[in-house]
Chains A and B, each alone.
Chain A
Amino acid sequence: MNSRNISYSSRLIEEFKASFLKDLRSYFRYPAWVIGEFLSTPLWFFFFALGVTLFAPVASTTSENGPSTGFSYFFFGFLFIILFSTSVWGVGQSVRNEQESGTLEQFFLAPANHATLILGRWARIFMTDALIIGYITLLLYFIGGTTVAILNPPLFLLSVGLYELSLIGFGLFMAGLTIRIKAYNSIGNAIFFGYMIFTGALFPINVLPQPIRYFSMLIPFTYLNDLMRHAALGTTMILPETWEYVVSVLAAVGMLIIGFVAFNMIEQNARVKGSIATS
């Protein structure tokens, strides 16, 4: 029984490794995209940063946001957006890409866990996201001598871990959605902008009008963003501290489970209906 478990685990690791390497190869096969990604991400950052500078008296936020600087607040908001785009445009679109390349059937026929396709892609994107974030941080330091400090590194790592779990779950859900709904771009855009506006990614939810704030508080990402920002900048939490930890853990684990279940259900349903490869 024990050796069977070990062989199952090592098979999963092998599948994951193969999927990761496949995605890495595909990524580097199009160098223009790689260069483009490394150029356009800091450009988005500087573009919005300049726009926000119009509102800044000195580099400080309102007192309700704790001892953080306006710049750091914006920087972490941008970091959340980079990571979230992983879920929507990276993980979610992986199935669609295979569908369009005509390789989805081969993949689903292989004796491998289907979620590994998505996890392999997630790992590759996480790696490139980390490189891009590191590169922007260095760029900011060399251009303006700006450093980004993290107040509570262990809590920050924990919150990033929870956030990534939720991203995998959400990405799996989105991947399932691409099997069912073909107009993925429009839905992806709507979700992406919804995330930027309603989850406190770029600005605190207390800026939003009261009824919309209640809606924000129903979105799990609101708490995960809030926890990461609290760990990094010491901002005031939305919920009492203990509650925020509990809600964040439940949100992350819950999204992961829901993502897996939803993906499997949609995939099974698509197999029955014969709609897996319809692009």
Chain B
Amino acid sequence: MWSRTIKNKSWLWLTVVLTAGPIVLGIGYAFAYSFGLTGLLNDGFTIEHWQKTITYTPFWKSLFFSFVIAILTVFIACSLALGIALRFRHIWKQHQALLYLPLTIPSIVMAFFVFQLLSKAGFLSRLLNRIGITSGIEGFPDLVNDNYGLGILFAHICMATPFFSILFLQVYQNERIQLFNQLSATLGASKMDRLRKVVLPIILQKSFPAIILYFIFSFGSYEIPLLLGSQSPQMISVFTIQKLQRYNLADIPIAYVSCIIYSIFIAAIVILSSRLLMYQQMKKG
């Protein structure tokens, strides 16, 4: 018991202030603004902003779109990463830098790069044009700033895949999965069996927190959809900031309602997944 040593709890309170403080203050202001208690064009408590936002289709489209992009990003990137991690397990020791290199590229640069790669006048278009598969600028499909978010998804996957590959490789090593692999083989399990019942479950279980975190980060992604997105649908961060900063002052409350709903959504995911984790721990005993 460290009652003797931790007499001075100042760092603890400092932490509370500096972490909870901004969130509480920020959400507090957002609530106030959204209920008309403060801010431009507001004069007193009203629920009309909430009504307006909840009935505003582009908002829900935006939420849904963000959700889908985040799910697809995580799903596709993890699948690719599993493939890379398992197939190239043995040679990665020497070539690790190759996987780490893409991690040096932040979202803004990745967005710019994907734009230069996949836009109608971009590198891929020119390549295909030269080979003769497409003809001219118009012959190349809309891959960026399109209504399906293909460019956004591609950029997200480019960033997520190396990250998960490294993560899975590390988990494989740390959890000594090779050991369990061999063990189950001696117990008579086939390659498919071992993959499905030993290797994948252990990797995914240990990576679960990272996967949830990445999902949350993808959901709230800003720079990539800012450059590669279109006016509709927008990812939730872009939607929110646009409502906040565009000329139409009457749109600002919508931005704050959006922030609150975003916060609730994020909080729900964090709480749910930690419950899930605790439940898993308890099951194991």
Determine if chain A interacts with chain B: no
Chain B residues close to A by CB (< 8 Å): none
